[in-house]
Chain A
Amino acid sequence: QVQLVESGGGLVKPGGSLRLSCAASGFTLSDYYMSWIRQAPGKGLEWLSYISSSSSYTKYADSVKGRFTISRDNAKNSLYLQMNSLRAEDTAVYYCARGELSPLDQWGQGTLVTVSS
């Protein structure tokens, strides 16, 4: 069955970096755009970024533009989010999801990123 599994979250100091991964299985990753969405503790959902199936096109939310980079390796069935210059307000559960402007029809379980000194 379709599965998305995020990893790479953890505790990081302000100004630090972290790389999240999302392992896809049960479908052909290269057929789909993919997205990252986050949810701060007790808050709603915030779309962060999406990437086209061939990596030729990416888009970012203003809140992370210039700090976060989305990428993918279709051969490894993996999606990534490189997060630099992290701030306290980046503390959230980060989800990968299948789709972009299409409905997000499959989501991972999420990985928690905590930015704190």
Chain B
Amino acid sequence: EAGVAQSPRYKIIEKRQSVAFWCNPISGHATLYWYQQILGQGPKLLIQFQNNGVVDDSQLPKDRFSAERLKGVDSTLKIQPAKLEDSAVYLCASSLQGSYNSPLHFGNGTRLTVT
């Protein structure tokens, strides 16, 4: 089966600019996650979708980050305006079921550098 697809792989922007990341999960996976992985740390959950509804966005900085999954398939994560501390790898993951003991399948991530 095709894996989780993410684009772009790399992005360099200046602070205060905006940026968007795209994710296409594994076909049939109802649950989609966006994680932020800062250098030297483990992934931190930003937002979880079940189909096209938000399950958990408690750690999403909503003043600058937004995400959508309009048709319950692919998803977009946006940052506007970006700050230096947003430099990180943004990982998208999907799982077949919504339960938290279901394995996550990760994409290769988008490495964002904010200068």
- A and B are partners in one complex rather than unrelated chains: no
